[in-house]
């Protein structure tokens, strides 16, 4: 158990809908990262927050947004969903830049 | 433009032998390097790391080697065990423009044959 909790584990939704994925980082970790893994692809970095502030952005679509709350949990919002958004979404947390990140079990999103 | 490359998508090794997984990166500003292991339907698990001030780090059966001049790192697993069969991701972080990102390579699928 990495200590990073992601909910829900599975999500099935229709095209055009909006969903929210939730992540609780390990106790004490200030950094939260979001990654997308599509069909045996690598892990694509989406966005990173540190202590509530956005610190780095990757290939995140404009339809996607995220935030980190004062209690350090984070949410990834995906809107106007398309079939191609079906993927595993992972959250990871770390103590800060330059330290190892620990991953949650992921949320499997299926858009039908 | 891939900043982290793992040119072998898959690797098969006999149980008891050495597994060598390779990773190349493009930006010399990266200063912290990690290896993760991933089983299907699970999140990646941190395995071992190395900072740019070292050229070798060992943890049990796992050793990571860093060649900064070649921008290359490798993971050695000795002896390989069937339970090591998984996808291995190399990851890098550090540098002025990407300090907060942890960038992953595409992964190498290792099969250890009993």
pLDDT in tens, A22-74: 999 999 999 999 999 987 678 899 999 999 999 888 889 999 999 999 999 99
Closest CB from A4, A41, A58 relative to B101: A58
Closest by Cβ to A103, choosing from B32, B44, B100:
B44
CA dihedral A43, B23, A94, B60 (to 10 degrees): 120
Interface residue B44 vs chain A (CB under 8 A): yes
Report the pLDDT value the prediction gives residue A64, as an integer from 0 to 100. 97
Give the number of other Cβ atoms within 10 Å of residue A60's Cβ: 16
By C-alpha distance, the chain B residue nearest A53 is B100
At B96, is the pLDDT very low, low, confident or very high (cuts 50, 70, 90)? low
Average pLDDT of the residues in A10-28: 97
* Mean pLDDT, residues B41-50 taken together: 91
Residue B50 pLDDT: 93
The confidence score (pLDDT) of residue A100 equals 84
pLDDT above 70 for B1: no
Reduce the secondary structure of A19-79 to three states and give it as a string.
Answer: EEEEEECCCCCCEEEEEEECCCCCCEEEEEEECCEEEEECCCCCCEEEEECCCCCEEEEEC
- Residue carrying the six token digits 């997984």: B21
Helix H or strand E encompassing B93? strand B86-93
Residue B98 has pLDDT above 70, yes or no: no
B101 contacts chain A (CB < 8 A): yes
Q: Are strands A5-7 and A74-78 parallel, antiparallel or unpaired?
A: unpaired
Contacts of B98 in chain A (CB under 8 A): 56
Q: Residue A20: which pLDDT band, with cuts at 50, 70 and 90?
A: very high
Kindly list the residues from chain B whose CB atom is less than 8 angstroms away from the CB atom of residue A35: 104
């Amino acid at each position: 158990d990495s200590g990073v909790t992601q909910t829900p584990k599975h999500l099935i939704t229709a095209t055009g809908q909006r969903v929210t994925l939730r992540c609780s980082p390990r106790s004490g970790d200030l950094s939260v990262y979001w990654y997308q893994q599509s069909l045996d692809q690598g892990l694509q970095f989406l966005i990173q927050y540190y202590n509530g502030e956005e610190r780095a952005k990757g290939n995140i679509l404009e339809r996607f947004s995220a935030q980190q709350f004062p209690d350090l949990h984070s949410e990834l919002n995906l809107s106007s969903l398309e079939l191609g958004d079906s993927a595993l979404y992972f959250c990871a947390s770390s103590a800060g830049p330059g330290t190892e990140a620990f991953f949650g079990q992921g949320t499997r999103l299926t858009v039908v | 433009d891939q900043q982290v490359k793992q040119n072998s998508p898959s690797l098969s090794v006999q149980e008891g032998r050495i597994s060598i997984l390779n990773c190349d990166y493009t930006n010399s500003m990266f200063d912290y390097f990690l290896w993760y292991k991933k089983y299907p339907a699970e999140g990646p698990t941190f395995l071992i790391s190395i900072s740019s001030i070292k050229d070798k780090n060992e943890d049990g059966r796992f050793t990571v080697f860093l060649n900064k001049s070649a921008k290359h790192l490798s993971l050695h697993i000795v002896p390989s065990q069937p339970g090591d069969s998984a996808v291995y991701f190399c990851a890098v972080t550090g540098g002025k423009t990407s300090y907060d990102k942890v960038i992953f390579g595409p992964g190498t699928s290792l099969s250890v044959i009993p």
